[in-house]
């Protein structure tokens, strides 16, 4: 059996958990071509790091690969001090202690306004990581451009593996009526809504647009889908005030989904696939429904949503809500599970390369 130590932001965000589940599922599917089975040992970047020399020695002795990603790891430590300046929490000089293959898998640009200067101080670490890694991939062309501008080369662009997270439908009557999925981020409000950090007026405006849209559709519900329950409940309370009986909170409708759990993430994918259209602020509230053939409208000022929209031919709406009503009225499916999936072929090819490194090193 081959052992993969899998480093990422596991355990508190349904977007990251969808990445983890998607990677495990797709790599296991590809591994049927090899005789030895594989197992994953997760390393949560916040709870189980830094990767100090003792930990690296353990990984070298008991593991066959250190797999880093996916997810928006190109950002400073979020609530913890990182030794690299980005979320791969290891000193530059300790990268040379790794004796097993290092693979960087589908990482993404995840900077908020003000983070850029901090991240530019980490360029040396990125370059060293690229030198050590057997494979280095990112999840979109915007991230690739950002790294190339900092003299990182030989980078693969692959689909976000959350697109291929397993799906399971909860017992629900949601599909009996028209549903608008809504994901609203409740953390980092000072950076999402600068300079005040106050999202109340934006929530009111979005609510008015959604109510007008549902009225034109002859009724329906706004289904609020939190990814990080400890933060996203804040927006839920305000949206419920403005939307009234049209509001449905997944955290209340399906309370067993919280706290967030890797075991439960297929239900989140199933809920997204039951929506008629989704307005999403968090990155994976764009990525997951897109892969289910559901029309998606990215919301907010974060560039990662713009990068994804540009990659797939979608759209994003800013905090001024300009164009949201029109986007809802003209929603289009740009990808469908009923049609051939070029993303799946690209990811499968990259996974074969990962497994070749794993089994032949």
pLDDT, tens digit, for every residue of 63-118?
999 999 999 999 988 878 899 999 999 999 999 999 999 999 999 999 887 777 76
pLDDT of residue 79: 78
Say yes or no: 226 and 349 in one domain. no
Say yes or no: 49 and 107 in one domain. yes
Say yes or no: 113 and 232 in one domain. no
pLDDT of residue 123: 92
The DSSP code for 197 is T
In a domain, 253, yes or no: yes
pLDDT of residue 332: 58
Phi, psi of 306 (to 5 degrees): -65, -40
pLDDT of residue 174: 87
Taking only the tens place, the pLDDT of each residue in 163-201 is 999 999 999 988 889 999 999 999 999 999 998 899 999
Alpha-carbon gap, residue 321 to 325, rounded angstroms: 8
Say yes or no: 56 and 7 in one domain. yes
Say yes or no: 54 and 122 in one domain. yes
Domain range spanning residue 69? Answer: 2-165+343-360
Say yes or no: 121 and 215 in one domain. no
In a domain, 231, yes or no: yes
pLDDT of residue 49: 85
H/E stretch holding 222 reads: strand 221-224
Say yes or no: 157 and 183 in one domain. no
pLDDT of residue 338: 44
Say yes or no: 155 and 32 in one domain. yes
179 beta partners: 221
In a domain, 336, yes or no: no
Strands in 75-169 per DSSP E: 102-109, 135-138, 156-157
Alpha-carbon gap, residue 188 to 315, rounded angstroms: 23
In a domain, 334, yes or no: no
In a domain, 318, yes or no: yes
Say yes or no: 217 and 97 in one domain. no
Q: Provide the domain count of the chain.
A: 2
DSSP letters spanning 241-285: HHHGGGEEEHHHHSGGG-S--GGGHHHHHHHHHT-SEEEESSTHH
* Parts of the chain with a pLDDT under 70: 118, 331-341
- For residue 314, give both structure tokens: 């979608």
pLDDT of residue 101: 98
């Amino acid at each position: 059996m081959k052992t993969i130590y899998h480093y990422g932001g596991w355990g508190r965000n349904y977007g990251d958990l969808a990445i983890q589940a998607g990677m495990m599922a797709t790599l296991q599917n590809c591994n049927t071509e090899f005789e030895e089975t594989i197992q994953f040992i997760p390393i949560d970047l916040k709870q189980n790091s830094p990767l100090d020399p003792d930990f690296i020695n353990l990984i070298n002795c008991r593991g066959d690969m250190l797999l880093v990603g996916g997810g928006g790891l190109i950002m400073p430590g979020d609530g913890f001090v990182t030794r690299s300046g980005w979320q791969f929490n290891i000193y530059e000089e300790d990268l040379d202690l790794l004796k097993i293959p290092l693979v960087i898998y589908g990482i993404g640009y995840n900077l908020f306004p003000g983070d850029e200067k901090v991240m530019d101080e980490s360029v040396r670490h990125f370059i060293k990581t690229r030198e050590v890694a057997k494979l280095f991939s990112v999840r979109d062309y915007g991230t690739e451009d950002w790294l190339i501008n900092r003299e990182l080369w030989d980078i693969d662009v692959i689909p976000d593996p959350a697109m291929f997270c397993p799906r399971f439908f909860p017992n629900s009557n949601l599909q009996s009526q028209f549903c608008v999925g809504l994901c609203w981020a409740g953390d980092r409000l000072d950076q999402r809504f600068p300079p005040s950090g106050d999202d109340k007026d934006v929530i009111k405006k979005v609510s008015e647009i959604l109510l007008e849209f549902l009225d034109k559709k002859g009724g329906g519900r706004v289904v609020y889908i939190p990814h990080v329950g400890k933060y996203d409940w804040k927006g839920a309370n305000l949206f419920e005030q403005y939307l009234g009986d049209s509001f449905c909170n997944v955290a209340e409708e399906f309370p067993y989904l919280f706290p967030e759990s890797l075991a439960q993430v297929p239900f989140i994918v199933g809920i997204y696939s039951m929506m008629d259209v989704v307005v999403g602020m968090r990155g994976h509230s764009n990525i997951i429904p897109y892969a289910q053939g559901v029309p998606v409208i990215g919301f907010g000022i974060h560039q990662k949503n713009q990068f994804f929209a540009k990659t797939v031919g979608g759209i994003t709406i800013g905090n001024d809500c300009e164009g949201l009503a029109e986007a809802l009225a003209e929603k289009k499916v740009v990808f469908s599970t009923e049609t051939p999936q070029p993303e799946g072929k690209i990811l499968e090819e990259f996974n074969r390369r990962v497994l070749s490194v794993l089994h032949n090193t």
